[in-house]
Structure 1
Amino acid sequence: MPSVNRSLVALLGGLTIGLCGCAGPAGPVFGDWYGYLPLPAPQARVAVELVLDGPPTARQGGFRLHMQTMWMVGAADNVSDYLTGTWSAHPVTIDGVACRRIDLSGLDSSPHHAMLVSHYIELPNGVLVPATADGRPDLTPGGLDYRLAPRPRGSFGYGRA
């Protein structure tokens, strides 16, 4: 009978872990975005998931960012990083359109993180684009390479960066 008990415990433990993995984020999520940023190497991208924690009405909070290098050909230097810090949101008006500026604090400047953006403009459609030095959205082809798309609130990965 002991082997049956161990099997039952293992089964229940596996189910518990599986169900917890399907649970939503631990707290309220202000927003969740993702994108595929270019690397300076050919056929390489960095998959980025950015989650801003806090209720939908928050003006500041913590963020979680997951980045994973993706090489189209085999590479030994694939890297996965989880970064955290704080964020703040500020209403801005650009050409008569109400937008939001989102600033991330706490991103380090190591060479692997050099392509990360710390100042975004959230467009009315929810897309985050880098902010230029004068506070406008960078809508150039180079700026749009670094945009992040909003993940729908009801989607499976929402809030799980």
Structure 2
Amino acid sequence: MTAGRRVAALLLGMAVGLGGCVQPTGPVFGDWYGYPPLPGPQAYVSVELVLLGPPTARQGRFRMHTQTMWLDAAQQNQSDYMGGTWTAQPVTIDGQACLRIDLSGLSTGMHHETLISHFIELPNGMLVPATSDGRPDLSPGGLAFRLAPRPRNSFAYGRV
């Protein structure tokens, strides 16, 4: 292979790689992130949740990336990628239109017992855990597990 072809191949590879970072590979219904606590001092899980589908979807597939962060025991930190299906149904909470989002297929691996599979999307886009009676858990404990929406124009939108 000549030097010119090597340079062309390198540039093509870089363009393809960088092009994949510009936008999601398909429609993204929503993208959230948060840092729920783990059962231990100074321990958290970084959660990134992407619901795939167009903005009008009411079901689809999801991708989730978790990264445990033990500040005093870094050797226990783990990263995991999960997927499954999601459904959304409109609900009215105290006169406000919200969505209930249910995730199916979450893994039962290490620390995944702290992950939430039933959320209420508040009008501000925040996901908070749903209580057993279908209301948003706005207690301090529930809010510790909230996920914040990423702005649609953010670099990471739709990336997990």
Q: Deviations over 1:4-59 (max 9, x none)?
A: 34751563255234423423111100000000110112111111000000000001
Structure 1 counterpart SS, 2:111 = helix
* Contact 2:38/2:111 (8 A) holds in 1: no
Aligned residues: 160
* Contact 2:129/2:142 (8 A) holds in 1: yes
Determine the structure 1 residue equivalent to 2:153. 154
Determine the structure 2 residue equivalent to 1:115. 114
Rounded to whole Å, the distance in 2 between the matches of 1:122 and 1:56 is 14
Unpaired segments of 5 or more residues in structure 2?
none
2:125 counterpart of 1:126? yes
- TM-score, normalized by length of structure 1? 0.91
1:106 Cα deviation (Å)? 0.5
Unpaired segments of 5 or more residues in structure 1?
none
Rounded to whole Å, the distance in 2 between the matches of 1:49 and 1:110 is 17
Determine the structure 2 residue equivalent to 1:11. 10
Rounded to whole Å, the distance in 1 between the matches of 2:27 and 2:9 is 32
Rounded to whole Å, the distance in 1 between the matches of 2:69 and 2:110 is 16
* Contact 2:26/2:52 (8 A) holds in 1: yes
Determine the structure 1 residue equivalent to 2:19. 20
Rounded to whole Å, the distance in 1 between the matches of 2:14 and 2:107 is 38
Rounded to whole Å, the distance in 2 between the matches of 1:74 and 1:114 is 20
Moved over 4 A (4+): none
Rounded to whole Å, the distance in 1 between the matches of 2:109 and 2:159 is 24
Rounded to whole Å, the distance in 2 between the matches of 1:47 and 1:110 is 15
1:122 Cα deviation (Å)? 0.4
Of all paired residues, the percent bearing the same amino acid is 69
Query: Structure 1 residues 112, 6: closer, same or farther in 2, change over 3 A?
Result: farther
Query: Structure 1 residues 13, 71: closer, same or farther in 2, change over 3 A?
Result: farther
Could you tell which deviates more after superposition, 17-26 or 134-143? 17-26
Rounded to whole Å, the distance in 2 between the matches of 1:110 and 1:69 is 12
1:82 Cα deviation (Å)? 0.6
Determine the structure 1 residue equivalent to 2:91. 92
Determine the structure 1 residue equivalent to 2:38. 39
2:136 counterpart of 1:137? yes
2:56 partner letter: T
Rounded to whole Å, the distance in 2 between the matches of 1:17 and 1:77 is 35
